[in-house]
């Protein structure tokens, strides 16, 4: 576990150490989810809607075994063309 001290600015902002940004693979537009647990603050990279959907898709039988975006798009096209009676 890594530990660093950061300062809260007069605008209630903190600056993440560059080392942490690199380790987490963050870019300048990535959002963080802030969780307060008692007196602790936890910051986690926010998962995009697309990433959340991919996780849910892979739980469905039609999407099992899909490995990339093109596979998922193909399954969606095939599923959308099936008529439900």
Q: What is the pLDDT of residues 19-78, one digit of tens each?
A: 988 988 888 878 888 999 999 999 888 877 777 777 777 677 666 666 667 777 776 777
Cβ neighbours for 69, distance < 8 A, ≥ 6 positions apart: none
Cβ neighbours for 44, distance < 8 A, ≥ 6 positions apart: 32, 33, 35
Q: Which residues pair with 37 in a beta bridge?
A: 40
What pTM value is reported for the model? 0.49
Query: Where do the domains of the chain lie?
Result: 1-46, 49-80
Give the fold, CATH level 3, of 1-46: Pemi-like Protein 1; Chain: D (2.10.260)
Pairing mode, if any, of strands 40-45 and 32-37?
antiparallel
């Amino acid at each position: 576990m890594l530990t660093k001290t950061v300062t809260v600015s007069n605008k209630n902002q903190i600056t993440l150490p560059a080392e942490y940004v690199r380790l987490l693979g963050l870019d300048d537009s990535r959002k963080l989810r802030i969780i307060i647990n008692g007196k602790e603050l936890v910051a986690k990279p926010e998962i995009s809607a697309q990433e959340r959907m991919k996780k849910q898709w892979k739980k469905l039988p039609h999407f099992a075994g899909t490995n990339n975006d093109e596979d998922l798009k193909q399954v969606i096209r095939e599923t959308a063309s099936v008529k439900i009676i």
